[in-house]
């Protein structure tokens, strides 16, 4: 458990190369889900003929090994897991190795080091890296509002009771940090001053710490929020009600890799878009991926998590610059470059636009009903 010290939250999240190497070396075997998860065993899903056929390339591509990082165990990562589980990357000639790193900032550092060419993560890490001179670019934005919940422990039923107490977050500068500060600000409190923000590394760690009273409250994504509900924790606030643009689910690469390997990136994007469609085409397959990779054994939690993201994912995932601007606004008081940065320069939607214009996105979505808009 790391107690957040005084000073700039962004400066403190800089990750040394040595830490990065250890993180990459210690990641769970990426070709499969984390070891020994408690899995919900679903009935064997029917293979979705429509998206599989649509995803097939017109010619047999040259196989390429590709390391892809992901930065959260929440349902936001399901399309990436689904692509692996259902062979959509293989259909594009990509031998994808999935590597879990605990936050978007760690993912960004892995990309800057050259270890990771592509990643699925929140946009915040890319913003911080680019403010420090990086060349990261978002090529998909498939979950574009902050949708995190603040849960109180046994003795906390209202946000105003948190004055002088502690809130668990993943890392300073992360989406959970932003969510905590947003909620506290709306209730007349300042995160890091009136309320201590503790970095706890992951949603499962935050959930357990809040349940056990090691922290007084915690910011959680889904499915951890549904597990918090099951455990009887107190829901203090839901950030989705603020409709704050924030790119919680995106695909990121570097401009240098994009320039050198545009065909590989295009093939990955074809598989990515097919996986987004498959989320709706094969509900049971999507739920099985959620259960396996998120280590869930409660069918009700899996179902609720599935529906939450069915209401959030974008079929045409153009990354909105406004979602990056939210992060810049958060950084601006302490980082001068954030006040003048143009987030549109960190978005490259060429592949989404190309695959939309060609009719590919429409074809892979033919088997899926219209995605409902979350109220």
CA-to-CA separations, 49 to 20, 39, 288, in angstroms, rounded: 40, 25, 18
Mean of pLDDT values over 184-204: 95
Mean of pLDDT values over 56-67: 73
User: Are 133 and 199 contained in the same domain?
Assistant: no
User: Are 141 and 152 contained in the same domain?
Assistant: no
Within a domain: 207? yes
Mean of pLDDT values over 179-187: 96
Q: How confident is the model at residue 296 (pLDDT cuts 50, 70, 90)?
A: confident
Within a domain: 374? no
Within a domain: 4? no
- Could you report the per-residue pLDDT of 301-318, keeping only the tens digit for each? 999 999 999 999 999 999
Three-point CA angle 59, 60, 62, nearest 5°: 125
User: Are 61 and 209 contained in the same domain?
Assistant: no
Q: Answer for the pair 168, 203: CB distance below 8 angstroms, yes or no.
A: no
Within a domain: 260? yes
Within a domain: 86? yes
- Asked if residue 223 has a cis previous peptide bond (ω within 30° of 0), the answer is yes
User: Are 169 and 91 contained in the same domain?
Assistant: no
Distance of CA 341 to the CA centre of its chain: 23
User: Are 80 and 31 contained in the same domain?
Assistant: yes
Per-residue pLDDT at 15 exceeds 80: no
Within a domain: 1? no
User: Are 173 and 223 contained in the same domain?
Assistant: yes
Task: Supply 113's token pair.
Answer: 């080091």
| Domains of the chain: total | 2
User: Are 169 and 224 contained in the same domain?
Assistant: yes
DSSP SS3 for 220: strand
- Domain containing 24 equals 14-146+245-364
- Could you report the per-residue pLDDT of 329-359, keeping only the tens digit for each? 989 999 999 999 999 999 999 999 999 999 9
DSSP SS3 for 191: strand
DSSP SS3 for 345: helix
User: Are 238 and 201 contained in the same domain?
Assistant: yes
d(CA 141, CA 120): 10
The enclosing H or E element of 69 equals strand 64-70
User: Are 275 and 338 contained in the same domain?
Assistant: yes
Q: How confident is the model at residue 172 (pLDDT cuts 50, 70, 90)?
A: confident
Strands 64-70, 94-100: pairing is parallel
Within a domain: 72? yes
**Mean pLDDT for all residues in the chain:** 85
CA-to-CA separations, 217 to 91, 102, 191, in angstroms, rounded: 44, 20, 13
Residue whose C-alpha is closest to residue 87's, from 46, 45, 52: 52
Residue whose C-alpha is closest to residue 40's, from 278, 226, 262, 248: 226
Within a domain: 205? yes
Q: Answer for the pair 127, 331: CB distance below 8 angstroms, yes or no.
A: yes
Per-residue pLDDT at 41 exceeds 90: no
User: Are 122 and 177 contained in the same domain?
Assistant: no
User: Are 42 and 116 contained in the same domain?
Assistant: yes
């Amino acid at each position: 458990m790391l107690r957040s010290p005084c000073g700039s939250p962004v400066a403190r999240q800089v990750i040394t190369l040595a830490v990065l190497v250890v993180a990459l070396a210690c990641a769970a075997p990426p070709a499969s889900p984390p070891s020994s998860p408690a899995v919900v065993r679903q009935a064997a899903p029917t293979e979705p003929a429509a998206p599989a056929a649509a995803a097939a390339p017109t010619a047999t591509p040259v196989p390429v090994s590709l390391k892809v990082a992901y930065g959260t165990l929440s349902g936001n990562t399901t399309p990436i897991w689904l692509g692996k589980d259902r062979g959509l990357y293989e259909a594009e000639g990509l031998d994808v190795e999935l590597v879990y790193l605990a936050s978007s900032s760690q993912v960004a550092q892995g990309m800057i080091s050259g270890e990771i060419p592509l990643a699925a993560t929140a946009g915040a890490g890319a913003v911080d890296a680019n403010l420090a001179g990086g060349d990261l670019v978002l090529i998909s934005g498939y979950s574009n509002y902050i949708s995190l919940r603040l849960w109180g422990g046994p003795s906390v039923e209202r946000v105003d009771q948190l004055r002088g107490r502690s809130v668990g977050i993943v890392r300073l500068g992360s989406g959970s940090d932003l969510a905590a500060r947003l909620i506290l600000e709306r209730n007349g409190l300042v995160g890091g001053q009136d309320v201590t923000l503790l970095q706890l590394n992951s949603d499962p760690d935050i959930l357990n710490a809040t349940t056990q009273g090691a922290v007084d409250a915690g910011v959680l994504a889904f499915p951890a929020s549904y597990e918090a509900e099951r455990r009887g924790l107190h829901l203090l606030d839901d950030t989705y009600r603020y409709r704050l643009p924030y790119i919680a689910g995106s695909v990121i690469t570097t401009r240098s890799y994009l320039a050198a390997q545009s065909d590989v990136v295009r093939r990955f994007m074809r598989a990515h878009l097919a996986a987004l469609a498959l989320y709706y085409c094969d509900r049971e397959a999507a739920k099985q991926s959620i259960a396996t990779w998120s280590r869930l054994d409660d069918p009700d939690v899996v179902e609720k998590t599935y529906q939450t993201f069915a209401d959030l994912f974008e079929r045409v995932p153009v990354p909105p610059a406004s979602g990056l601007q939210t992060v810049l606004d958060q950084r601006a008081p302490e980082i001068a470059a954030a006040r003048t940065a143009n987030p549109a320069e960190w978005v490259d939607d060429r592949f989404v636009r190309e695959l939309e214009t060609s009719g590919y996105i429409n074809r892979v979505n033919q088997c899926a009903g219209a995605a409902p808009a979350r109220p």
